[in-house]
Amino acid sequence: MTAERDGEADTGVSTTRKTFAILEALKSEEGLTITEITERTELPKSTVYRHLATLTDMGYVIEREGGYYIGLRLLEISEQTRNRKTGYTAAKRKVFELGQETDERSLFVVEEEYDAVYLHRYGSLADTMIGKRRPMHSLASGKVILAEWDDDRVADFVERKGLGRHTSNTITDPDALAEELDRVRKQGYAINDEEYMDGLCGVAVPVHTPDDELLGALGLFGPASRFTEDVHEEFVSRLRDKAGEIRVTLAYG
């Protein structure tokens, strides 16, 4: 009823929330029918019908063979974000080169609202993971970005997002995190030692613009069996080269 609650619940336009509830439903499972969306969103059938009519009319949703799909028009909107900075686009190419040269999975990650978000990725055909959000403290790329922040901002991150445990190796203690970030700052790269998922390791370095603004993190990851001590050096030097190339590209086109 009244505007504000404990947190801040129902600001603004609930109609818009319904629309996006439907889009999110289609994200997780494409080709749904109206009734299936009804079940998943717990919205009345006629409401879903009306919203879908609007969305298809605008082209953001496509109906084909009785099922509904996210339209490519949304792609045009969101792709904007991946090219917001020239450095992002330059990073895309480097991610690809890294993947080809090392035959491992590679990624470029930026931070948004204290999440590590995949902007570019090279890897398995099944799932590109682009747009997926991960907890920063449990990823090599996330730690690289955290290491560039001052203590206050890191403290705020810890407070707001917490240091959730994902494996037995996850850093869950703020002091341990501070130590780790110090180490990252000193050595100039971060390592993920099965901290997010068992058996999954990674290495990442920061990417800077010519005027030393942080763009994001460039990383490689793969199974623990292949990410042993002795390959770290090679991976790190490759990553540094690519990060440097991005910087140069930005400076001299």
Segment lying near a second copy (by CB under 8 A), choices 65-73, 149-157, 172-180, 202-210: 65-73
Which partner from the list DNA, a second copy, none does 251 bind, CB cut-off 5 to 8 Å by kind? none
Which partner from the list DNA, a second copy, none does 46 bind, CB cut-off 5 to 8 Å by kind? DNA
Q: Where are the alpha helices (DSSP H) in the chain?
A: 14-28, 34-41, 45-58, 73-82, 86-102, 140-146, 151-161, 174-187, 229-252
45 near a second copy, rule: CB under 8 A: no
**Min separation Cβ 63 and a second copy, Å:** 11
C-beta of residue 190 within 8 angstroms of C-beta of residue 147: yes
29 near DNA, rule: CB under 7 A: no
- The DSSP call for residue 6 is S
Name residues whose C-beta falls within 8 Å of residue 90's C-beta, 6 or more positions apart in sequence. Answer: 245, 246, 249, 250
3 near a second copy, rule: CB under 8 A: no
Size of the site for DNA (CB under 7 A): 18
Calpha distance 103→107 (Å, rounded):
13
Segment lying near DNA (by CB under 7 A), choices 45-53, 141-149, 166-174, 209-217: 45-53
> Which two three-digit tokens encode residue 184?
């990252």
Near a second copy by CB under 8 A: residue from 33, 35, 46, 78: 78
Segment lying near a second copy (by CB under 8 A), choices 15-23, 136-144, 152-160, 197-205: 15-23
Which partner from the list a second copy, DNA, none does 127 bind, CB cut-off 5 to 8 Å by kind? a second copy
What are the distances in angstroms from CA 94 to CA 108, 112, 114, 209, 244?
9, 21, 24, 15, 10
Q: Decide whether 45 or 50 has the Cβ nearer to a second copy.
A: 50
H or E element, residue 206 = strand 200-208
Per-residue contact track with a second copy, 96 to 115, x per CB under 8 A? Answer: x-------------x-xx--
Q: How far is CA 101 from the centre of its chain?
A: 23
The footprint of DNA (CB under 7 A) covers 3, 12-15, 18, 33-35, 43-47, 49-51, 66
